Amino acid sequence: MDLDLTGKRALVCGSTEGIGKAIAIELANMGASITLMARNKEKLEGVKSVLSIEKGQSHDAIVADFDKPDLVEKEINSYVSKGNDIHILINNSGGPAAGKAIDAELDEFHLAFNRHLICNQILAKAVTPAMKVAGFGRIINIISTSVKSPLNGLGVSNTIRGAVANWAKTLSNELAADGITVNNVLPGATFTGRLESIIKNKAEKAGITVEQSSENMKKEIPAGRFASAEEVAAAACFLASPIAGYINGINLPVDGGRLSCL
């Protein structure tokens, strides 16, 4: 199978930790040059230093806060205007805080909408012209299994993730003829800092230990364990590869079989 990404450049958002970092590392291992994008310059430089350069890659970093769409737009437009063509876009950013939808303030919805959908749109508009010229493009959104089955206690996240999934499906139809695919990866319970926070929150509400809360969550997963960030990254990187050119407009769960729906 052709998994080689030599000569391609990938923009990986939220790439200083967790799933985003794992994707950046694996895409570099596949030969891609990586442009990291997150808000912490020091962490960005740390990740950049561990990316493979065995195939002559050159790696960059863009400092931008996804809670500030205007800044994201300014930075990405400046970057591509200098001739930096992006062939693979990985949209990924931190999820909204836990809580019931009915209890959420309007600002929480506005913030999440900007962080996820608006920034995704800004980045897609900036990078797709070069993808069209190249006849090759991959837009991959790291979302959540909640787009298939909403998760209790994640009201704002459920709402916004669903909007992003439908945006992506619409975009996949619009861009397919240009050789650009748009797909969503839906991580289940993945052992990252965000999952640790969710486990702790559940434990406090239930009056149990963190260990008990963790085990209760694992019991809901047929695989009996949490995913690693690298396992989610593997799915995203396959969709980014040349061999996945006829996979378009899908939601791909990586959840150990937890979802009860197809």
Q: Are residues 125 and 242 in the same domain?
A: yes
Q: CA torsion, points 152, 145, 109, 115, in degrees to nearest 10?
A: 150
SS3 (DSSP) at 123: helix
Task: Give the angle 173-251-76 at the CA atoms, nearest 5°.
Answer: 65
Domain count, the chain: 2
Q: Are residues 217 and 238 in the same domain?
A: no
15 within a domain of the structure (yes/no): yes
- The gap between the terminal CA atoms of the chain, to the nearest Å, is 27
Count the neighbouring beta carbons within 10 Å of the beta carbon of residue 34. 28
Q: Are residues 69 and 176 in the same domain?
A: yes
- Residue 201 pLDDT: 85
159-167 average pLDDT score: 97
pTM flag (> 0.75)? yes
Q: Are residues 30 and 152 in the same domain?
A: yes
> In 3D, which of 33, 12, 183, 177 has the Cα closest to residue 89?
12
- Residue 198 pLDDT: 84
pLDDT in tens, 14-31: 999 999 999 999 999 999
Q: Are residues 112 and 196 in the same domain?
A: no
Q: Are residues 129 and 207 in the same domain?
A: no
Range of the domain at 135: 9-188+228-253
73-81 average pLDDT score: 98
- Residue 16 pLDDT: 97
113 within a domain of the structure (yes/no): yes
51 within a domain of the structure (yes/no): yes
- Residue 162 pLDDT: 97
- Residue 186 pLDDT: 98
35 within a domain of the structure (yes/no): yes
Q: Which residue has the higher pLDDT, 195 or 133?
A: 133
262 within a domain of the structure (yes/no): no
7: left (phi over 0), alpha (psi -120 to 50) or beta: left
Query: Whats the size of the chain, residue-wise?
Result: 262
DSSP letters, 194-226, are HHHHHHHHHHHHHT--HHHHHHHHHHTSTTSSP
Question: For position 114, which CATH number holds?
Answer: 3.40.50.720
Q: Are residues 208 and 96 in the same domain?
A: no
Backbone angles phi, psi at 140, to 5 degrees: -125, 125
Q: Are residues 152 and 170 in the same domain?
A: yes
Work out the percent of the chain whose per-residue pLDDT is above 90. 92
31-45 average pLDDT score: 98
Q: Are residues 38 and 143 in the same domain?
A: yes
**pLDDT range class, residue 142, cuts 50, 70, 90:** very high
**pLDDT range class, residue 97, cuts 50, 70, 90:** confident
Q: Are residues 180 and 205 in the same domain?
A: no
pLDDT in tens, 227-249: 999 999 999 999 999 999 999 99
Q: Which residues are CB-neighbours of 110 under 8 A, at least 6 positions away?
A: none
Q: Are residues 154 and 31 in the same domain?
A: yes
- Residue 243 pLDDT: 98
pLDDT in tens, 186-237: 999 999 888 898 899 889 989 999 999 999 999 999 999 999 999 999 999 9
Q: Are residues 52 and 31 in the same domain?
A: yes
